[in-house]
Structure 1
Amino acid sequence: MQIVGYDAGSDAGLLVSEGDSLDYVALDPGTELAYTLGERHCAGTVHEDSHLACDAERAPYCRDHQYTWVCARCTGTCLKDEMDCHEDHAVYLAAFAPDVFKVGVTRRWRLETRLREQGADRAAHVRTVGDGRLAREIEAGIAETVSDRVRVPTKRRGLHRAVDGDAWTALLADFDPLETFAFDYGLDLVDRPMSETIATGTVRGTKGRLLVLDHAGSTYAVDLRDLVGHEVTAGRTDRDVQSSLGAFG
Structure 2
Amino acid sequence: MPHLLRFYSGEGKPTLLSRQDGEVAPVELEPGKQEDVDFSEKKACIGYRAPEGYLPCVNKAINVSQCPACNYLDMSKAYTVGDFSGYPSLYEEAKKEEYCLYLAGFGEDIIKCGVTRKERFEMRMREQGADFGCIVATYTGPDEIYQSEHALQYKFNFNNAVRMAEKMRRLVFDKNTARENYSSAVELVRSSGVLPDFIPNIIDFSGHYPRMTSPNLTYSVIGEILGAKGEILLFRSQGGREFAVNMRTKTGHFFERK
Q: Is the 8 A contact 1:41 1:61 kept in 2?
A: no
1:28 and 1:122 map into 2 onto residues whose CA distance is 25
What code does the residue aligned with 1:165 have?
A: R
> Where does structure 1 lack aligned partners over 5 or more consecutive residues?
236-249
Match of 2:194 in 1: none
Q: Which residue of 1 aligns with 2:234?
A: 212
Residue identity in the other structure for 2:254: E
**Number of positions where the alignment pairs a residue of Structure 1 with one of Structure 2:** 231
Pair 1:228 & 2:251 matched: yes
Q: Which of 56, 69, 73 is matched with 1:64 structurally?
A: 69
**1:199 & 1:22 partners in 2: Cα distance?**
22
**2:181 is the alignment partner of 1:181:** no
1:8/1:117 contact within 8 Å kept: yes
Partners in 2 of 1:107 and 1:155 — Cα distance? 23
Report sequence identity in percent: 23
Superposition pairs of residues 1-249 of structure 1, within 5 angstroms? 1-2=1-2, 3-11=4-12, 12-45=14-47, 52=56, 55-66=60-71, 67=74, 69=77, 72-73=80-81, 80=85, 84=92, 85-86=94-95, 87-144=97-154, 145=156, 146-163=158-175, 164-174=178-188, 175=190, 176-183=198-205, 184-191=207-214, 193-217=215-239, 218-235=241-258
Partner of 2:193: none
- Match of 1:232, SS? strand
State the distance in 2 between where 1:162 and 1:28 align: 28
1:56 maps to amino acid: A
Query: Which string of whole-angstrom CA distances, capped at 9 and with x for unpartnered residues, describes residues 187-216 of structure 1?
Result: 12112x222221332211111111112235
Q: Give the gaps of 5 or more residues in structure 2.
A: 191-197
Q: Distance in 2 between matches of 1:27 and 1:7?
A: 11
Q: Partner of 1:6: helix, strand, or coil?
A: strand
Cα deviation for residue 135 of structure 1 reads: 1.3
**For residues 229 and 79 of structure 1, what CA distance do their matches in structure 2 show?**
24
Deviates more, 1:98-107 or 1:224-233: 224-233
AA in 1 matched with 2:220: I
Deviation track 1:57-105 (CA, whole Å, cap 9, x = no partner) reads 232122333336155345xxx7747654312111111111122111111
TM-align CA RMSD: 2.6
TM value normalised by structure 2: 0.78
Alpha-carbon deviation of 1:126?
0.9
